[in-house]
Amino acid sequence: MSTERGAANQGFASTSSVNYGSTIEYQVPQLRRMPLQELCLQTKLLTPSLVSEFLSKAPQPPTAHAVKSAVQMLKTIDAMNQNEDLTALGFHLADLPVEPHLGKMVLCAVVLKCLDPILTIACTLGYRDLFVLPVQGSQKRAALQCCKHYSSNTFSDQMTMLRIFQAWQKARNDGLERSFCEKNFLYNATMDMILGMRTQLLRQLRATGFVRAHGESDVRGVNINSENWAVVKAALVAGMYANLLHINPETNLPSSNKEKKVNFHPTSTLNQSQNKEVCR
């Protein structure tokens, strides 16, 4: 029995049967349910026209609001100028197999010489949550304790992801990855996928010359600051700053430019009761 199936039998959430009557007749077109930033970048490689004009010709085009939001995000991260032309950064981001804001994070990590941890974080953010969702109360508490252990009082979900992946790699080298995943509420297949994404992304950085085989920009050169968490956070902010939260000094509540009220995800290290004072 695989670890994943065994975990489900121990009380984890598993796929249940679907009520036929509740299903839709046709699946929602992919253009209407996928993030559009990467598609908009690729569109500009194909046509000089406005993105919205080009995508509107699709049989079932995405909504105008979704396209406008995607284009605005690309302008915010300097991948497009105000005329919707690709910038030099935009051309580089179009070459990377990750969402544009994650690609910018990776390229900044090359410049800041902290590539290795950012590769892991970017691939984790670009794929799926690492943890299996427990359904029993005791297991939920145990899963949160795993998060707390790997966050090591950094109050950072990204640091938690990074440390879990590094611990999994060590277990994998020892041939113990499946037992490690079962113990820590993880899917081994998810970890394998992230490892593959890291390899693909690093290969592309080498192909485009950002990481070289020899010299100052070789793998060792672009990782000089990989143990410096302050520098790693700078690379994170470079890619994610459009999603920064603000703390209201009067209410001590977080908000963003788009939402007046923001809540942390239940599994976030920032949402645990022992961290509330830090959030404030």
Domain range annotation of the chain: 30-94, 102-279
* pLDDT tens digits, 117-160: 999 999 999 888 787 776 666 777 777 777 777 777 777 888 88
Backbone angles phi, psi at 86, to 5 degrees: -70, 135
Asked whether residue 277 carries a pLDDT value surpassing 50, the answer given is no
Q: Which region, left, alpha or beta, applies to residue 263 given φ > 0 means left and ψ of -120 to 50 means alpha?
A: beta
Asked whether residue 175 carries a pLDDT value surpassing 60, the answer given is yes
Measured distance CA(37)–CA(40) in Å, rounded: 5
Asked whether residue 107 carries a pLDDT value surpassing 50, the answer given is yes
Contact partners, residue 115, CB within 8 Å, separation at least 6: 106, 109, 205, 211, 219, 222, 223, 226
Where do the DSSP E strands lie in the chain?
246-247, 254-255
